[in-house]
Amino acid sequence: MLNKVNIILIFSVLVTNIYGVNTEIYSKGSSSAKTLALFLYMGNESLGAEQANEFANIYREEAKAEGINWDVAFVQMCLETGFLKYGGLIHNTQNNYCGLGSFDGKQGASFSTIREGVRAHVQHLKAYSSFDSLNKQLVDPRFGLVRRGSATNVIELAGLWAEDTKYGHKLISLLKRVKSLESRNEVFLATVPLLKVKEIEFNSIDNENTGAKNSKNINNNIEKNIEKKKIGWLG
């Protein structure tokens, strides 16, 4: 006999099979820190390698500590902040990477450090995706306002985390890009010697444009840079 837990697990498996990426929030990510850093840099070339790597490592560490899919958390940060370009109600000085408390014209919550802001984001995802207790001290000011377990999959975040009905599909589109980049990254990290260079020439990703044309441009740029062997900044 199927219970609620089994139904949730079946739904998660079906969604993953349909979209080809792990869309379950309370699960393990699969991307390396290097891939996430490169993905962030591709969306915002004004970031340096050090800053991109810092965000990638912190997101992996904080998400892993709470059992959250770090790929989901990271691409959601990219979507919510426009790859750390901001431009909305929230400013970069707030260390708020997921729009926490930003609604009805409110500017949202602020955090003292990057890590604290990332931790709050991860904790908010855990509130939505599970019934388990936090493993680290609570820093998410809206944790207690969430109906626990109401969104175990990114598709279910639409209408809860954001009013946008396509919110989940936008996250899936970004997850697919990360997965594609991860597979290519594994190939050229294994076959191309790392050279010490300062940056890679990639076209920016507009988080509002998730079409096939943009994905094709990204893939072309990756292949060009594999040939140029300009990947050393990730080392």
- At 28-45, the pLDDT tens digits run 999 999 999 999 999 999
d(CA 228, CA 231): 9
- At 107-161, the pLDDT tens digits run 899 999 999 999 999 999 999 999 999 999 999 999 999 999 999 999 999 999 9
d(CA 149, CA 130): 5
User: What's the predicted TM-score (pTM) here?
Assistant: 0.76
Domain assignment of residue 67, given as a range: 4-234
Q: Are 174 and 21 in contact (CB under 8 A)?
A: no
Q: What Å distances lie between residue 103 and 63, 90, 98, CA to CA?
A: 25, 10, 12
**Burial class of residue 102, CB neighbours in 10 A (0-12, 13-18, 19+):** middle
d(CA 179, CA 176): 5
Rg of the chain's alpha carbons, rounded to an integer? 18
pLDDT exceeds cutoff 50 at 209: no
CATH code where residue 145 lies: 1.10.530.10
Count of domains observed in the chain: 1
Give the CB-side neighbour count of residue 51, counting CA atoms within 13 A. 12
